């Protein structure tokens, strides 16, 4: 009985921290939008760079904290799982808001960001596999002993290259800002202070969620009549990933509702690219060596699903006839199904019976 009470108390704390991240993340997104308007940043960059970085702060804090406590699988699971859920957001909105979430013809505009997202994901997966299968060969030598991995440095570098390429592409299109929000009464210094307070809440809640997640990963639960220990991969990829991605869901919903579909898509792809660059920051806190060298190969499945969903969305949304009106519902539903399949595979192949 005492064990049951303790377990439920831990899950209650986990839920409260997740709620705090959602509320603070929502405020943080609004403050980021205000700052973006005050600094004359266009809607595309608000979604792709500013809001993407802002709404990805929970993932960054959570994964860096996971690296600091020596839980590489939780860090990787959170980042890969968040990318998976971010793409599912587009599918969910396409199903529940088919008249507003119109993806038709949008794929061409986001072809570059979608391609860079897939490229960075494949680089991360390749590095993981290289560490797993040839890290002991002379080809790699003592690279695994380096404090920060070459792969993490490469992902961090590719993030800035990606942002530059997207900037050049958007400038070439002559992109204009979306309809400005009414923030005339807001003062930039005050907004920056509020931004800092919301950030502090996310830092504390994110740190606590990782500590609780590390404990819950070892606490057995009853599942289909069996006692199962979830493990770091499941807790990171499922629970932490969804909780820290809820700000993206809130921002994307608000963007679609006000008619800024490009901002929603840009937020998703921008967040995914930012999450992959976060491996470098998590690596700085992970003291055992390159963090990708200690990540389970089970995350390769999640990464491949992220790449598949990205390609599927961009390819399908490029065809205006397929993604027009209610015709897009089956395609959006397919994205959600792929996300659900990812959950099932992760639960099946990474859960360990007690």
Distances (CA, A) of 130 to 71, 81, 125, 135, 150: 20, 21, 9, 6, 12
Asked whether residue 261 carries a pLDDT value surpassing 70, the answer given is yes
The verdict on residue 181 lying in a domain is no
* Three-class DSSP labels, 38-89: HCCCCHHHHHHHHHHHHHCHHHHHHHHHHHHCCCHHHHHHHHHHHHHHHHHH
Residue 312 belongs to domain spanning = 2-174+186-353
CATH number assigned to the domain comprising residue 170:
1.20.1420.30
pLDDT for 294 beyond 50? yes
Residue 295, in any domain of the structure: yes
pLDDT over threshold 80, residue 116: yes
**Residue 227 falls within a domain, yes or no?**
yes
CA distance 284 to 152: 9
Q: How far is the C-alpha of 223 from the C-alpha of 326, rounded, in Å?
A: 37
Across the range 12-20, mean pLDDT stands at 83
Is residue 179 one of the residues assigned to a domain?
no
Least trusted range by pLDDT, from 99-108, 213-222, 287-296: 213-222
Considering 19-33, 165-179, 233-247, 303-317, the range whose residues carry the highest mean pLDDT is: 303-317
Q: What is the pTM of this model?
A: 0.77
Residue 103 resides in a domain: yes
Query: Which residue is listed with tokens 């439920």?
Result: 8
What is the 8-class DSSP label of residue 140? T
Please tell me what DSSP assigns to residue 149. -
Residues 263, 156: Cα–Cα separation, whole Å? 23
Residue 99 lies in a domain: yes
The total domain count for the chain is 1
Does any domain span residue 68?
yes
Residue 173 reports pLDDT greater than 50: yes
Q: Indicate the average pLDDT of the chain.
A: 76
Mean pLDDT in residue range 274-300: 88
Tokens at residue 137, please? 């060969």
Residue 160 lies in a domain: yes
The Cα-based distances of 327 to 13, 330, 331 in angstroms read 42, 7, 8
Question: Which whole number is the average pLDDT over 65-79?
Answer: 85
Element (H, E) at 171: helix 150-173
What band does 175 get if pLDDT is binned at 50, 70 and 90? very low
Is the pLDDT confidence value at 43 over 60?
no
Which run of H or of E encompasses 258?
none
pLDDT (0 to 100) of residue 7: 65
Lowest mean pLDDT, pick from 87-91, 247-251, 309-313: 247-251
């Amino acid at each position: 009985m005492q064990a049951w009470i303790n377990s439920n108390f831990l899950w209650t704390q986990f839920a409260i921290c997740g709620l705090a991240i959602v509320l603070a993340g929502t405020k943080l997104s609004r403050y980021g939008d205000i700052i973006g308007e005050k600094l004359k940043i266009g809607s595309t960059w608000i979604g792709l760079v500013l809001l993407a970085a802002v709404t990805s702060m929970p993932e960054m804090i959570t994964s860096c904290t996971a690296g600091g406590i020596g839980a590489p699988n939780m860090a990787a699971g959170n980042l890969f799982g968040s990318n998976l859920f971010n793409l599912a957001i587009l599918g969910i909105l396409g199903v529940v808001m088919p008249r507003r979430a119109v993806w038709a013809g949008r794929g061409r505009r986001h072809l570059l960001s979608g391609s860079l997202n897939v490229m960075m994901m494949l680089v991360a997966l390749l590095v993981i596999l290289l560490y797993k299968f040839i890290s002991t060969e002379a080809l790699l030598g003592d690279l695994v002993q380096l404090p920060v991995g070459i792969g993490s440095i490469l992902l961090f570098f590719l993030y800035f290259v990606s942002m530059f390429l997207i900037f050049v592409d958007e400038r070439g299109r002559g992109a204009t800002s979306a309809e400005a929000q009414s923030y005339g009464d807001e003062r930039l210094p005050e907004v920056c202070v509020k931004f800092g307070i919301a950030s502090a809440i996310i830092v504390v809640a994110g740190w606590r969620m990782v500590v609780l997640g590390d404990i819950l990963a070892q606490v057995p639960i009853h599942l289909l009549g069996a006692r199962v220990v979830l493990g770091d991969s499941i807790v990171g990829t499922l629970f932490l990933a969804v909780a820290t991605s809820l700000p993206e869901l809130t921002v994307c919903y608000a963007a679609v509702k006000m008619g800024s579909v490009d901002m929603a898509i840009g937020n998703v792809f921008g967040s995914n690219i930012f999450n992959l660059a976060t491996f470098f920051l998590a690596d700085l806190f992970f003291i055992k060596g390159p963090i990708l060298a200690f990540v389970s190969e089970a995350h390769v499945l999640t990464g491949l699903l992220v790449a598949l969903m990205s390609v599927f969305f961009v390819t399908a949304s490029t065809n205006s006839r397929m993604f027009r009106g209610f015709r897009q519902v089956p395609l959006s539903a397919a994205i959600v199904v792929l996300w659900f399949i990812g959950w099932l595979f992760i639960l099946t192949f990474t859960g360990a019976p007690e």
